[in-house]
Each structure stands twice: as structure tokens, then as C-alpha cells.
């Protein structure tokens, strides 16, 4: 049987069971099904194509090695997403250690200019096509610091609660609240700025 034969009728659960018995072919099917999602999560956090590729592939290797620990408490895709998120967080921590303390890093905790900005109104994203809105959000995310982007991705896209984010990021709930607040304020400012660019 070719490893690329379409097995779309086979469930993830069946493929996981086969892979847990050593079936590399079944695991390849799982990779093929979910590779874009895992890569997208890595890219969303790292904003760097090569890093996202490396980390997503590392996540699949870890997934294979830890397959016996998967008991189906969540979906396989969710389980894999958690693995790649943890790898990305490790990588971001390494990068942060290498990065010298900067004014930007200090401002992330205290809010920087966002602290003094008036609230952006009316809604800058109103009446936008979904594709255009996604594009703007993506560009705005690309302009955030790694800490602000990470907390937004984990809260808005992964829908994690404050305490779960704090645990993953190795910080206090207060820090999560602070980062999330200023990340949102910066996003509001960026989305408003992008709207102005469009209309000018």
C-alpha cells in the first residue's frame, strides 16, 4: 500500500491507534492531515518561515516519540498543537535570554505608549471583508513584540484561559493580564492605522 494512498475515510483515532503500534505509514497520514495547522501555529508565534518549519517538524518527531502518552483526552490535532506551542515557547525563551534588555522589553510590561492612548473608536474593522480583515490582523500581529503576540495567539486563537497561559508562559496571571491588555491596545492602534493607510 502506498503511504500516500488517500485514507480520508479513516478517522484520526484509527490512525493514531495504528501509529501507536509502530505504524509509520499511519503516522505519515496524520502528518499529512494536520501539517498545515501545526505549521500555521508555529508561524503565528514565530513569524519566521524557516523557524516555523523546523519547529513544526520537531513537533511531529516529538509527537511520534510521545504517541504512547496520547490517550484521546483531546483531539489529536489539539494534542499536537500543544506540543508545537510548547516548542515555540521554549524557542522564544531562548531568544529572549540572548536578547539584551531593551527599552522595548521594559515597555512590554509597563504598556509603553499604549498606556496613554485614547480608546480607538469607532470600530476600525467594521464593514471589512473577512479576507481583508484577516490580512490586516495578520499584518498587525507581525508588528507586535513576541510576548504580546504570543499572549494574543494563545488567548484569541487557542482560547486558553489566563491561568493556562500563565502556566505555559511561565509567568504570573497578572503578567498575562498586563501583556494581553497592552497587546490589545496596540492591536487596536495598528488596525486603526491600517485603516487610515487604506483610506489615504
Partner 1 sequence: MNQNLEFKLQAWLDGELSGSEAQAIEREVAADADVARLAAELRTVKSAMAGNETARVVPETREFYWSKIQRQIERESAQPAPARRMAVWRHWLSPLAGLAGLACILILAIKPGTPATFDEISSTGEGMEAVTFHDQSAGMTVVWLADSEREQPQIQSPAPKTEEGGSGVEVE
Contacts with partner 1, residue ranges (CB under 8 A): 4, 24, 28, 31-32, 35-36, 39-40, 43-44, 49, 53, 56-58, 60-61, 64-65, 118-121, 123-125, 130, 133-135, 137-138, 152-153, 155-157, 161-162, 174, 177-178, 180-181, 184-185, 187-188, 191
Residue 99: CB minimum distance to partner 1, A: 25
CA distances from 91 to 12, 78, 97, 127, 172 (A): 29, 20, 10, 38, 20
Write out the three cell numbers for 23: 505504524
**Backbone φ/ψ region at 72: left (φ over 0), alpha (ψ -120 to 50), beta:** left
Residue 113: CB minimum distance to partner 1, A: 15
Residues 6+ apart with CB under 8 A from 61: none
For residue 130, how far is the Cα from the chain centroid?
20
Closest to partner 1 by CB, 28 vs 105, is 28
Residue 11: CB minimum distance to partner 1, A: 20
Closest to partner 1 by CB, 92 vs 154, is 154
Amino acid at each position: 500500500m502506498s503511504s500516500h494512498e488517500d485514507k480520508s475515510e479513516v478517522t484520526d483515532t484509527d490512525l493514531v491507534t495504528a501509529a501507536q503500534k509502530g505504524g509509520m505509514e499511519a503516522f505519515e497520514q496524520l502528518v499529512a492531515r494536520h501539517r498545515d495547522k501545526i505549521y500555521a501555529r508555529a508561524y503565528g508565534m514565530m513569524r519566521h518561515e524557516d523557524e516555523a518549519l523546523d519547529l513544526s517538524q520537531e513537533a511531529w518527531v516529538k509527537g511520534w516519540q510521545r504517541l504512547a502518552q496520547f490517550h484521546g483526552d483531546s483531539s489529536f490535532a489539539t494534542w499536537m498543537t500543544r506540543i508545537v506551542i510548547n516548542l515555540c515557547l521554549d524557542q522564544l525563551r531562548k531568544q529572549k535570554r540572548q536578547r539584551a534588555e531593551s527599552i522595548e522589553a521594559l515597555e512590554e510590561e509597563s504598556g509603553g505608549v499604549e498606556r496613554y492612548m485614547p480608546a480607538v473608536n469607532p470600530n476600525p474593522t467594521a464593514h471589512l471583508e473577512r479576507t481583508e480583515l484577516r490580512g490586516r490582523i495578520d499584518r498587525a500581529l507581525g508588528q507586535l513584540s513576541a510576548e504580546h503576540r504570543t499572549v494574543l495567539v494563545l488567548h484569541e486563537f487557542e482560547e486558553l484561559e489566563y491561568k493556562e497561559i500563565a502556566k505555559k508562559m511561565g509567568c504570573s496571571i497578572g503578567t498575562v493580564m498586563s501583556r494581553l491588555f497592552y497587546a490589545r491596545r496596540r492591536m487596536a492602534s495598528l488596525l486603526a492605522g491600517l485603516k487610515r493607510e487604506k483610506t489615504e
